[in-house]
Structure 1
Amino acid sequence: MPSTVLANQPSADGPVPSRGTRSLSLEKPFSFYRGGVLPRLEISYESWGTLNAARDNAVLIFSGLSANAHVATSVCDPQPGWWEYMLGPGKPLDTNRHYVICVNSLGSCYGSTGPASIDPATGRPYGPDFPRLSVEDIAAAGRELLRALGLRRLSAMVGASLGGMSALAFALQTPEMLDRLVLISSAAHPSAHAIAMRSLQREIVRADPAWADGRYTAPGPVDGMRLARKLGISCYRSPEEWEQRFGHRRASAHSAADQFEVESYLAHNASKFALGFDANAYLALSRAMDDFDAADHGDGELDAALARLGGLEALVIGVRTDTLFPESQQRALADGLRRAGARVRYAGLDSPQGHDAFLIDEPRFAPVMRDFFAADAG
């Protein structure tokens, strides 16, 4: 019989910055959605709260492209997480009521198996030989985690950006495993604009001589990753926020000569990312986002695919200033779910922070999430 092994230690398959991360070893072959098989998987995750006796209070969060599983402070890791205001006792995702799990995406480099992991057949990183990753594979790895934890059904599933695509793919594949679905700044498929931006980012990484056709040695194509991240960050926020935060102001004397504040900001954040994220993992996750189309689960018809989700309660949140996942895409997704018979709440938020708004705009996002999850508070 195939087996799984749960451990309290971080996975050895990649850098895991959070001390609270745990690892699941899936000791059986894993088949990819678009072909290819790995002999075993490592899946990293974190959890908060307590699973109740009925085992019906679990909430699963799928992370975004560059996020690890450390959503919020925990006993094991007191460092702030990437969604600190959303998760914890008395917060919208109330850990006094919910057992919350965040799974790190398959293909990433924060503990779950990805291109930087060691191929047991060669003793070297998979690199460009890693099977072509799909959002459906990320969803399937999350499903394997739940099964290993003995969870057959979720109270809710939450995802933003790539995480929203992963949550939608999970729901389309196994709608019987959840009651509620929360999709934030995501879509049934990427826009042409988003594909164009990510395609350019991938080309920038591959153009770095240090990429070496994906068979680089550490630190890899740092310059390419740095420039690709700069382009990404410039799309994650809105033009109006850039103007409000930085305007035409010059940077301080401690920064590079004759540099604007916005340039200094981009340089600092892009350098941190380039030195800490595997390039092949970045390319794989980026391409998986572009490949995703929920209509594939309905023979090319989105309404046919969403018809599987008619029994769910759903919350869809869009942001007016989001250029990567325009609010029109969120409205279309909400309308499609309504046509399928799902009970849908839609929130179009007037946040100035663009695609990253869900990470930082607590005054707008927290009340919407709190109201949605308050329905089962009794």
Structure 2
Amino acid sequence: MSVPRRLVAVARPSTLCTAASRRAIPAPSRTGTRDQSTQASRKLHHQIPHRAQAAAVAQPQQQPQVVGSTNPALSFPCLDAVESRSASLSRRSTSGPEPSYTTGQHLNFHSREPLLLDWGGILPEFNIAYETWGHLNRDKTNAILLHTGLSASSHAHSTDTNPKPGWWEKFIGSGKPLDTDKYFVICTNVIGGCYGSTGPSSTDPANGERYATRFPILTMEDMVRAQFRLLDALGIEKLYASVGSSMGGMQSLAAGVLFSDRIGRLVSISGCARSHPYSIAMRHTQRQVLMMDPNWARGFYYDGVPPHGGMKLAREIATVTYRSGPEWEQRFGRRRADPSRPPALCPDFLIETYLDHAGEKWCLEYDPNSLLYVSKAMDLFDLGQEHRNRINKVRQDNSAKLQAFRDGVAVASNVQGDLCNLTLPDQPYEEKEQPAEVTINNGVADTGAMLNANEPPQDLVAGLKPLANTPALVLGVASDILFPAWQQREIASTLKRTGNENVTHIELGEEKSLFGHDTFLLDLEYVGGAVKKFLG
């Protein structure tokens, strides 16, 4: 149906160069005074964090005393804690990066064959950290590839060498949904991650230094191609199943599209076939608060204080999207942590203290640059045919670049392209009225002819056509706000429109789960039960 006129953003692009190019080509100024003022401002900006840290090391922060003030100044223990941690990490920074980002013993696959990435980057070699459970049968036909969420390691279940419980501990094992009496389960840490697989914190073999933000942009498909290099090394020609939840659900679909002849069936839980504005916006916000932390240092923080403050805030934002409103109403309500004390601007309500604890606990457990790269790969995810055609064209254009790398031939780089690879508008975004004939399809605007609200986009149908003969389980949760249930309905209806007659779609209502997006980690009965039944 048609909708009233709406406002959309349009931009006039210009080129924004990197910091290196700005230093090489200083911008002209109108007056020397303005130059001096700008330089002084920049100098002051860069000095403030260092002075704050030095002061925190030297002595505790004291509240300003104002003579004659009507009210005393508030205390900010939450900020004191951040400054104290920065001071502590500063004293330890000479011993190397903090922390080590490890989950214990795991297996390692090393590929010396270069990997061409979708957007033109090249990994000359790479590692894949992985763990396995169960036994591979003689024909190597019982393997299940388990894909992880954004920040998960390969440690989905405990092993003899690492007895710590894994992130899907209750779902893997004898008689469990991923039954190790039947299946050989493989779980990897994705490339771009920080738990043993090659990522921004890894060493670039070209110069012996950490990649940091010299690491190339990734896609879900890049991660899947690296995983299938591992399968090749294990001699596994065809998977019994590809299984994943959240980002793993996206990877599972991508694996099916890229390697449809090598997957017997697939499971996608709380995932999507293309990222949508809300989830992109939330991940963008997380990246922004992280990158605004002065300690991030444009990604080159490995020999200093990590951006733990930005990571803490990013995790708090993420946690808001992982759980649901109904659960929090029951769990926290409007209760305050200590009703006997007056309100404070620091965490005060129970929900605030919960988020504060979640952020504090996680801020040193995951590499900040990995968060940036892996979350951006989620944003770029789109299995629609138009996007696939564009990426295939980019890959084709870069095939010569990969061959030259293999031959050891230096490829002349486009200096302008290397230094100025981001476009931003000259002026703030302007609002423009959107034509009235726009219609809404499953929450996505489509111009042109009116579409049935239950009809999946033809572009997506064409993109998922390789899955027309692959049995699929698609599961969603009504209380999920990060990957809403309509996105799983879109996957299921699109698969059916490809001609796939073996699609199982399950949606858990709020009467079955109030845990939102995190349901896939918690619900052994409904999520685990559905997976076990589907796998057979």
TM-score (norm 2): 0.65
Match of 1:267 in 2: 356
Aligned to 1:345, the other structure's residue is in SS state: strand
Give, as a single letter, the amino acid of the residue that structure 1 aligns with 2:250.
Answer: M
Residues 337 and 349, structure 2, Cα contact 8 Å, conserved in 1 = yes
Counterpart of 1:304 in structure 2 is 462
Q: Tell me the residue number matched to 2:505.
A: 346
Aligned to 2:522: 360
Q: Is the 8 A contact 1:250 1:258 kept in 2?
A: no
By how many angstroms is 1:22 displaced? Answer: 0.7
Is 1:208 the counterpart of 2:293? The answer is: yes
Tell me the CA shift for residue 243 of structure 1: 1.3
1:297 Cα offset (Å): 3.1
Structure 2 counterparts to residues 85-100 of structure 1, below 5 A = 85-100=170-185
Higher relative contact order (CA 8 A, sep 6+): 2
User: Where in structure 1 are there 5+ consecutive unaligned residues?
Assistant: 1-13
SS of the counterpart of 2:268?
strand
Aligned CA distance change for structure 1 residues 333 and 272 (closer, same or farther; 3 Å): same
1:171: how far off?
1.1
SS in 1 for 2:464: helix
Distance 1:358 1:170 in 2: 20
Aligned to 2:321: 235
1:282 positional shift:
0.4
Deviation at 1:272, TM superposition (A): 2.2
Counting only pairs closer than 5 Å after superposition, residues 1-378 of structure 1 correspond to structure 2 as 15-19=101-105, 21-217=106-302, 218-251=304-337, 259-295=348-384, 296-297=387-388, 301-342=459-500, 343-350=502-509, 351-374=513-536
Give, as a single letter, the amino acid of the residue that structure 2 aligns with 1:226. Answer: K
Conserved? CA contact 2:157–2:167, under 8 Å: yes
1:69 maps to amino acid: S
Counterpart of 2:152, as a letter, is A
8 Å CA contact 2:101, 2:367 repeated in 1: no
Find the aligned partners of 1:259 and 1:80 in 2 and give their Cα distance. Answer: 32
Measure, in 1, the Cα distance between the counterparts of 2:347 and 2:200.
39
CA distance in structure 2 between the partners assigned to 1:180 and 1:333 by the alignment: 15
- 1:78 counterpart letter in structure 2: P
SS at match of 1:142: helix
Matched AA of 1:290: D
Cα pair 1:298 1:304 within 8 Å, conserved: no
Q: Is the 8 A contact 2:144 2:243 kept in 1?
A: yes
| CA distance in 2: counterparts of 1:117 and 1:244, whole angstroms | 43
For residue 264 of structure 1, report the CA deviation from its aligned partner: 2.1
SS of the equivalent of 1:277 reads: coil
Partner Cα distance (1:226, 1:219) in 2: 14
Offset from partner CA, 1:127-180 (integer Å, 9 cap, x none): 111011111111111111101111110000001111111111111111001110
- Name the SS of the counterpart of 2:264 in structure 1: strand
Q: Structure 2 CA distance, aligned partners of 1:219 and 1:68?
A: 23
Rounded Cα–Cα distance in structure 2 between residues aligned with 1:120 and 1:297: 31
Equivalent pairs: percent with the same residue? Answer: 44
- SS of the residue aligned with 1:124? coil
Give the superposition deviation at 1:28: 1.6
Structure 1 pair 340/210, CA: closer, same or farther in 2 (3 Å)? same
Contact kept, 8 Å, 2:218 with 2:377, in 1: the verdict is yes
Amino acid at match of 1:313: P
Q: How many residues were matched structurally?
A: 359
Whole-angstrom distance in 2 between the partners of 1:150 and 1:15: 30
CA contact (8 A) 2:242 2:255 kept: no
Give, as a single letter, the amino acid of the residue that structure 2 aligns with 1:198: R
Contact 2:347 2:356 in 1 (8 A): no
* Per-residue Cα deviation, 1:95-124 (whole angstroms, up to 9, x for no partner): 000000001111000010000101122222
Contact in 1 for aligned 2:480/2:516 (Cα 8 Å): yes
1:230 is matched by which residue type in structure 2? E
Distance 1:99 1:161 in 2: 22
Alpha-carbon separation, structure 1, partners of 2:492 and 2:175: 28
SS where residue 265 of structure 2 aligns?
Answer: strand
Paired with 2:176 and 2:479, the residues of 1 have a C-alpha distance of: 26
Partner SS state of residue 276, structure 1: coil
Give the AA of the match of 2:492.
Answer: A
Query: What one-letter code is carried by the residue in structure 1 that aligns with 2:515?
Result: Q
**Structure 1 303/46 Cα, relative in aligned 2: closer, same or farther at 3 Å?**
same
Q: Which deviates more from structure 2 when the two are superposed, residues 272-281 or residues 91-100?
A: 272-281
Provide, for residues 17-42 of structure 1, a one-character-per-residue CA deviation record: whole Å limited to 9, x for no partner.
132x1111101211111111111000
Q: Within 2, Cα distance between the matches of 1:38 and 1:190? A: 25
Larger Rg computed on CA atoms: 2
Q: Post-superposition shift, 1:339?
A: 1.5
Contact map agreement 2:267 2:473 (CA 8 A) in 1: yes
For the residue of structure 2 that corresponds to 1:301, the secondary structure is helix
How far, CA to CA, are the matches of 1:193 and 1:304 in structure 2? 24
What code does the residue aligned with 1:321 have? S
Higher strand residue share:
1
- CA apart distance, 1:72: 1.2
C-alpha change, 1:286 and 1:258, in structure 2 (3 Å) is closer
Using the TM superposition, give the Cα deviation of residue 298 of structure 1 relative to its aligned residue in structure 2, in angstroms.
Answer: 6.2
TM-score in terms of structure 1 length: 0.91
Helix, strand or coil: the match of 1:85?
A: helix
Moved more, 104-113 or 215-224: 215-224
